[in-house]
Amino acid sequence: MANKFDIDISPESPELLAIAEKELRETPEIRAKGLAELRELLKKNSDLNFTDDENFLVIILRVCHWYPESAIETLRDIAEFRKDYWKVLKDLMPEQEKTAFIEGGLINILTHKDHKNRRIVIYKCGSDWDPSVISEDSIFRMFYLLHILAQLEKSTQICGCIVIYDFEGLGMKQVMNITPSGTKRLLTFTQKAMPLRLKEVHIVKQPLIFKMVYALMKPLLDQKMKSRLHFHGDDMSKLHQFVPPNYLPKNYGGTLPEIDYSAKDWYFCAEKYHDFFLQYKDFGFKQ
């Protein structure tokens, strides 16, 4: 992969397939059976509008460990989410959030993966966020667009991703713009309607005022998310227990250089996969 600001859409390596078999039950026989059964379930759920293309169905089946019944439930959850939040997601394409990508600098993807071959997403929610420039809705739309992009990467389908929420410099200006409805939307999405393996969520550099934000989140967290949520404050050695420092930039106590790129650099990758976004925007319930 020549461009470091691109996803890797190459076929699965033998090493990746070995991980898929161990962690996801994926074998050629289970794969063939799962695809056939999910296609039949899609026919029975005639109110759903999703492609039955193999590449897309594999995305859904992998996150469900190749259980077709769970996969159709996931597709229904995705459709419900898109119906409930249609005002935010209707006809969403990367160009609609170009300003958030180019000027916001709030969501970033590290150009390398960690020791478990997982993508690392950085979500800066503190003083870097000016709500008068980038709205809460806009941040969510950008997050949603990036999750669509991540689905195309085979290694991410199999190994998953982790998210680091960086609350450095969080103040009342940001807290007053983190709404109960926006928090519910984000957590509903990540817990029910995001077809990716979210392995860990790390909260770092959070000041005392973060307690106000967590008070909004806590009642909405399911047990699975609670088990994957870790709070580190300014102690990066706690983060290093999950991701070794040689896989992290200096910003997070790592040995790699400080981050000198942002979502601006990733925007052109999103543009590159325009056709997948175009297809995805019509997924959900049939009109």
CATH code of the domain containing 104? 3.40.525.10
Of 89, 119, 147, the one marking the end of a domain is: 89
Does residue 282 fall inside a structural domain? no
Does residue 68 fall inside a structural domain? yes
pTM of the full predicted structure? Answer: 0.95
d(CA 149, CA 127): 27
Of 27, 58, 89, the one marking the end of a domain is: 89
Q: Are residues 72 and 179 in the same domain?
A: no
Residue 103: what pLDDT? Answer: 85
Segments forming the whole domain that contains residue 25: 14-89
Residue 287: what pLDDT? Answer: 86
Residue 104: what pLDDT? Answer: 74
Q: Are residues 127 and 37 in the same domain?
A: no
Q: Are residues 109 and 249 in the same domain?
A: yes
If one counts every other C-beta atom within 10 angstroms of the C-beta of residue 206, the result is: 21
Could you give the 3-state DSSP secondary structure of residue 232?
A: strand
d(CA 18, CA 27): 9
Does residue 5 fall inside a structural domain? no
Of 72, 89, 106, the one marking the end of a domain is: 89
Q: Are residues 109 and 74 in the same domain?
A: no
Per-residue pLDDT 10s for the chain (287 aa) are 568 999 999 999 999 999 999 999 999 999 999 999 999 999 999 999 999 999 999 999 999 999 999 999 999 999 999 999 999 999 999 999 999 998 878 999 999 999 999 999 999 999 999 999 999 999 999 999 999 999 999 999 999 999 999 999 999 999 999 999 999 999 999 999 999 999 999 999 999 999 999 999 999 999 999 999 999 999 999 999 999 999 999 999 999 999 999 999 999 999 999 999 999 999 999 98
Q: Are residues 31 and 57 in the same domain?
A: yes
d(CA 47, CA 140): 27
Does residue 285 fall inside a structural domain? no
Contacts of 73 (CB under 8 A, 6+ apart): none
Does residue 2 fall inside a structural domain? no
Residue 229: what pLDDT? Answer: 98
Count: domains in the chain: 2
Q: Are residues 177 and 206 in the same domain?
A: yes
Residue 140: what pLDDT? Answer: 96
Does residue 120 fall inside a structural domain? yes
Q: Are residues 122 and 149 in the same domain?
A: yes
